[in-house]
Amino acid sequence: MPHPLPTTLTASGRAWADRELNPTSARQWAQASPPSPVRDVMLAYLDWRTGAYTSAFEHVNAALSELTAPDVWRSRALNIRAGLMMARLDFSAAHALYHEQLAVATGCGDLVELAHAKHDLALALLDFNVGEALPLLQESLELFEDCGQSEQTGVAYLNLGMVYQRRGEFGRAEQHYARAVQRGQDGYAVLHILALAQLVVLKVQQGQLGAAQAHFNDLDQLPQSQDIEAEVERARASVLLTQELSRVRWAQDQGDWDDTAREQTAGLQAVDPATLALAMIGQANARQAQRLAELEASLAQAEAQHAEAERRSVTDLLTGLHNRQHLMTEGARRLTNGTAQAPAQAAMIDVDRFKRVNDTHGHATGDTVLREIAALLKAHALPGDLVARYGGEEFVLVRCAGQPSLVPTLEGFRLAVQNHAWTTRPVTVSIGMTLVPGDTLDVALDRADQLMYAAKRAGGNRLRHDLPRDSSRGTPHINLIYDPERDSVC
């Protein structure tokens, strides 16, 4: 039972449906719409298909940063970004994006998006695993047909034809190309160009130059498209046909000519290779080279911006440490593997009497003190530690299970703060440290916080922890230390 598109579509749905048959209308809708992720997806697609890669990448990144729900618009955005990565020849990233799109499309239950995901993942696999790609293409064809997607059904026919052509099954390839041409004649100009171009290539490959010339004549009558891929394929067909015609005529001039060759070229029009191909090829190649250069530049810029945005999203801007948001997500993950035999560890650190620093020397000096505290803490942490600013003058250090004791690290840090050459009044810290055999992060931090306040009540500038007095029982790698001002275990 077919599943045609609903007769009533939202404005964005109508614009999306228009993106191929009437891209001008789709762009007008997007440009007239207020900023939104859906608008960015639409503009990203239109820019991608016309070779405006810089703009396409900016729009799709903006859309994906806001589209977090598994819906059709996130699926479309993932598909566009994957297509851009394919253009960059970054196949690994493209494969990952197509697989993510497949999961999103499956999750939201949209058959059209599921068909797109299967189809485009298959194309990404063609050069690596045809055996896996072919079933995906066939599944996508059936889904497109069931959903009444005429153009996309034609695209699936086109790509299946290319697979069969690679396998040397020329008859099946021609049948699929012919079906794609039929769909293209319904008004899908890009599909029409691509399908005719493939027929030209197929007939040249078979040595049927008369049929190739006939298909090229039909191709040559089609108006130029804004789609860069379609124009490149048109130019490629022109090059192959022109080269083969030139070779055959040269053989004829040399007298190396037989009845088979005469049959193959019967009815061919006189063709001047330069006239037939050079203008089209030169223009297409120049456009492609320029757009590929733009894509490389835009991708590099976008990746740098994305990396910087990701860094800023998890970084406390004052101190350069991780922020509280990152602590609560990454810290929880790092504590999950703690056990009684190999506990994780967490510490809460607070600057003693920090309000006096701000009141006496001003907030700018207070900020400087916090930055220097952060630098000292980071310098004493191990490479795998998670160091974060918890808020205000409080800091947190989390160490995964199986790592050395935090006690020497924290005591070394405490002494470094105490002995630091401060430009203000002397600065010290109070620290609470706890073992985490499997607790949640909230529970661990609450316990470390209580221990830290116990250190403050004892006069500050000290470390309190909940290690057992006999460190040899059940707590490997943990060494006790002594309170710096009292001859007793912390």
What is the tens place of the pLDDT at every residue in 410-445?
999 999 999 999 887 889 999 999 998 877 888 999
Single out the residue of 186, 197, 183 nearest to residue 227, CA to CA.
197
- Cα separation, 142 vs 156, whole angstroms: 9
Question: Yes or no: is domain 324-465 CATH 3.30.70.270?
Answer: yes
* Local confidence band at 457 (pLDDT 50, 70, 90 cut-offs): very high
What share of the chain in percent tops pLDDT 70?
82
Q: Is the pLDDT of residue 387 over 50?
A: yes
- Name the pLDDT band for 348 (thresholds 50, 70, 90): very high
Was domain 11-307 assigned CATH 1.10.579.10?
Answer: no
**Confidence bin at 276 (pLDDT 50/70/90):** very low
Mean pLDDT, residues 301-318: 77
Q: What is residue 377's predicted lDDT score, i.e. its pLDDT?
A: 96
Higher local confidence (pLDDT), 158 or 428: 428
Tell me: pLDDT of 282 over 70: no
Strands 463-465 and 386-391, how do they pair?
unpaired
pLDDT of 280: 46
Supply the pLDDT for residue 120.
81
pLDDT of 79 higher than 80:
yes
**Exposed (0-12), middle (13-18) or buried (19+): which is 42, by Cβ within 10 Å?**
buried
Least confidently predicted of 12-16, 193-197, 279-283 = 279-283
pLDDT for residue 471 is more than 90:
no
Mean pLDDT throughout 58-75? Answer: 87
Distances (CA, A) of 183 to 94, 189, 225, 289: 28, 10, 17, 30
Q: Burial-class residue 337 by CB neighbours within 10 Å (0-12, 13-18, 19+).
A: middle
Q: Bigger pLDDT: 228 or 211?
A: 211
- Give domain limits for the chain: 11-307, 324-465
Dmax of the chain from CA atoms? 109
Enter the pTM of the model: 0.46
Q: In the predicted model, is pLDDT for residue 237 greater than 60?
A: yes
Q: Which residue has the higher pLDDT, 214 or 446?
A: 446
Q: Which residue numbers are catalytic? A: 393
Query: In the chain, pLDDT over 90 holds for what percent of residues?
Result: 20
